Structure 1
Amino acid sequence: MNLTVNGERRTFEPLPHLAALVSALGLDGRKVAIERNLEIVPRSAYLKTALADGDQIEIVHFIGGG
């Protein structure tokens, strides 16, 4: 499966949904915001949002500070 993640073309084993991509990238799903093909995906929909070859994914990481 070929996806563009934050502007970089990457190849993955087939991934059924966004939650699987988050896991494959080693990210904490509670600390990211994801856009798929120019549409923001609510965190509650990560398990329901299917991925397809050629999808464009943008991921923003939240960083705490103080």
Structure 2
Amino acid sequence: MNVVLNGTPKQVSENTTLEVLLRDFGFPERGIAVAVDGSVVPRASWPATGLHPDATVEVLTAVQGG
């Protein structure tokens, strides 16, 4: 199925969870925030958060400085 990851269409398997998506595309386990269809998903929910076709996933990386 297709999802949109940070604005880019990606092909993933049916029943892919948010946790698997992030791991498969090389995102770090710490220092990121994730939203699915505009709603922030708490880290503890990533393993149980299933994705649907055409889901929009945005991953933001925390940076230090200012």
The TM-score, its normalising length taken from structure 1, stands at: 0.83
Q: Distance in 2 between matches of 1:60 and 1:14?
A: 24
**Structure 1: gaps spanning 5 or more residues:** none
Percent of residue pairs identical: 25
The residue identity in structure 2 corresponding to 1:18 is L
1:55 corresponds in structure 2 to: 55
2:27 corresponds in structure 1 to: 27
Aligned length: 66
- Post-superposition offset of 1:29: 2.2
**Structure 2: gaps spanning 5 or more residues:** none
RMSD of aligned alpha carbons: 1.8
Q: Secondary structure at the match of 2:23?
A: helix
Q: Map 1:1-40 onto structure 2 (within 5 A).
A: 1-40=1-40
The TM-score, its normalising length taken from structure 2, stands at: 0.83
8 A Cα contact 1:15 1:21, kept in partner: no
Q: Which portions of structure 1, spanning 4 or more consecutive aligned residues, are displaced by more than 6 angstroms?
A: none
